[in-house]
Amino acid sequence: MKKLYADAASALKGLLADGQTLAVGGFGLCGIPELLIDAVADSGASNLTVISNNAGIDGVGLGKLLDNRQVRRMIASYVGENAEFERQLLSGELEVELTPQGSLAEKLRAGGAGIPAFYTRTGVGTPVADGKETRDFGGHRYLLEHALIADVSLVKAWKADGAGNLVYRKTARNFNPMVATAGRTTIAEVEEIVPIGELDPDQIHTPGIFVQRVIVNGAPTKQIEKLTTRQH
């Protein structure tokens, strides 16, 4: 399998550079490519723009890149679980572009589909629309949003075959499919590699043509972002 690499560091070798844009899959801590994020943290790459639904939590996931001051700009839809993110934002150390969640997903999907921009009603009449073009369609005002494309996309999947076709599992099928298509180079971190032909073609979520490199993480940590228990 030419796409399979021994570990995250070797999969990122020759791809990472200062000032790049990274798109990272996941929702909270669900479906994040933890080994690939750790390898980015160890690489020392700096001045990064990171596109992700959120920034994880303090010291976990993308929180590690924030702790290392590797991120210059964050494009996200939710940032409420990370105190270091909040501190850097309020101090002016970190540029943040808050984007409605559906718009962020569509911006990534559009980037992967070769669609440069699209109109949406989401954000009209709010600070999200500041400085953006608007236009009327059918009696309603719409906001022009531009697609997102990353230099490198990092995704987490359940299974991959030898061609790099990916299957996500349950909630991990969140932003990962859009992130995978929006990267000029996409690296997938998977729990299991299966032979070509074993995956049902109707169940493949990301075709292998979008995936250039694959690593295996056979023992993911599966952390919980916020644990709430009921007192008995």
Predicted confidence (pLDDT) per residue in 156-210, tens digit: 999 999 999 999 999 889 999 999 999 999 999 999 999 999 999 999 999 999 9
The pLDDT value given to residue 111: 97
Strand pairing class (95-98; 71-76): parallel
Res 225 pLDDT > 80: no
How many helical (H) and strand (E) elements, i.e. helices and strands, does the chain have?
Answer: 6, 11
List the Cα angle 171/42/69 in 5-degree steps.
85
Mean pLDDT of 115-131: 95
Largest CA distance in the chain: 55
Strand pairing class (140-146; 166-167): unpaired
User: What pTM was computed for the model?
Assistant: 0.93
Percent of the chain with pLDDT over 90: 82
Candidate from 61-70, 73-82, 107-116, 219-228 with smallest mean pLDDT? 219-228
pLDDT tens string 60-85: 999 999 999 999 999 999 887 788 98
- Cα dihedral: 41, 46, 47, 49 (round 10): -30
Res 218 pLDDT > 90: no
Split at pLDDT 50, 70, 90, the class of 223 is confident
- The secondary structure of residue 161, as a DSSP letter, is E
Strand pairing class (117-120; 140-146): antiparallel
pLDDT tens string 125-142: 999 999 999 999 999 999
CA 173 to chain centre: 11
Contact 93, 47 (CB under 8 A): no
Considering the four listed CATH numbers 3.40.605.10, 3.40.1080.10, 3.60.21.10, 3.30.70.20, the one that applies to the domain covering 8-116+148-216 is: 3.40.1080.10
Helices (H), the chain: 8-12, 34-43, 63-67, 83-91, 101-113, 176-182
Measured distance CA(65)–CA(86) in Å, rounded: 14
Measured CA distances, 32 to 35, 155, 214 (Å): 9, 7, 14
Percent of the chain with pLDDT over 70: 100
Measured distance CA(99)–CA(111) in Å, rounded: 15
